[in-house]
């Protein structure tokens, strides 16, 4: 086992066959000469595969269920001969880095707590086989330390929202700042 896919071996074999050289000649090549033989050919099968429009992928990532796996599966339905999942994720990450988008926000310690409910409702199953229920996930993150508080509640109603805040401040040991003027 050499840790190389059979498709890579096949592509390499085709390159060597196209070079017209026989094994006695190839076996005496040094590294530089090998690179020369291998680089004087058409791109490999993997490099010829179709890739998606990365702007479209980036837009799809903004969806509530936007994960690379979900988007890749949807894209592959319409393009079955496109790149595989690992190449898809690698190409997307490289493309995204090329955007050079930076928005640094500096937060003082204890200054800000970011709160919201997570996007999806979560099913809660009874381990004893009873009926399932559903929960909303409250998320709170301190801006400076990224310390995170999570709580599952039955709904996003005001009473649950308020109780989540009370429980969060108790867990984090924090208090609300009040700028009341008298």
pLDDT in tens, 136-155: 999 999 999 999 999 999 99
Q: Which residues of the chain have pLDDT under 50?
A: 45-46
Do 66 and 37 share a structural domain? no
Same domain, 42 and 53: no
CB count within 10 Å of CB 81 equals 8
115, 140 Cβ separation under 8 angstroms: yes
Distance CA 156, CA 3 (A): 50
This model's pTM is above 0.75: no
pLDDT at 40: 64
Domain end point (choices 67, 97, 127): 97
Residue 110 has a pLDDT of 81
Let me know if residue 105 belongs to a domain. Answer: no
Domain membership of residue 182 (yes or no) is: no
Q: Is the dihedral of CA 43, 46, 52, 53 positive or negative?
A: negative
Q: Which domain holds residue 60?
A: 49-97
Asked whether residue 19 is domain-assigned, the answer is: yes
Kindly state whether residue 104 falls inside one of the protein's structural domains.
no
125 and 162 within one domain: yes
Q: Are residues 82 and 93 both part of a single domain?
A: yes
Q: For strand 133-142 and strand 148-153, is the pairing parallel, antiparallel, or unpaired?
A: antiparallel
Domain identity same for 156 and 122:
yes
Angle at CA of residue 62, ends 94 and 48, nearest 5°: 35
Place of tokens 């090329």: 98
What is the count of structural domains for the chain? 3
Indicate whether 92 belongs to any domain. yes
Could you tell me if residue 24 is inside a domain?
A: yes
55 and 87 together in one domain: yes
């Amino acid at each position: 086992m050499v840790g190389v896919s059979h498709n890579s071996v096949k592509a390499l074999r085709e390159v060597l066959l196209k070079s017209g050289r026989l094994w006695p000649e190839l076996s005496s090549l040094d590294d530089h000469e090998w690179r020369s033989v291998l680089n004087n050919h058409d791109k490999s099968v993997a490099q010829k595969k179709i890739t998606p429009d990365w702007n479209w992928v980036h837009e799809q990532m903004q969806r509530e269920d936007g994960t690379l796996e979900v988007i890749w599966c949807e894209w592959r339905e319409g393009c079955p001969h496109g790149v595989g999942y690992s190449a898809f994720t690698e190409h997307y990450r490289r493309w995204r880095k090329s955007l050079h988008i930076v928005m640094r926000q500096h937060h003082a310690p204890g200054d800000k707590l970011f709160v919201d409910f997570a996007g999806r409702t979560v099913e809660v199953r009874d381990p004893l086989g009873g009926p399932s229920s559903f929960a909303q996930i409250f998320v709170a993150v301190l801006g400076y330390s990224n310390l995170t508080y999570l709580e599952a509640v039955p709904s996003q109603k005001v009473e649950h929202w308020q109780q989540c805040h009370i429980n969060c401040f108790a867990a984090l040991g924090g208090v609300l700042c009040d700028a009341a003027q008298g």
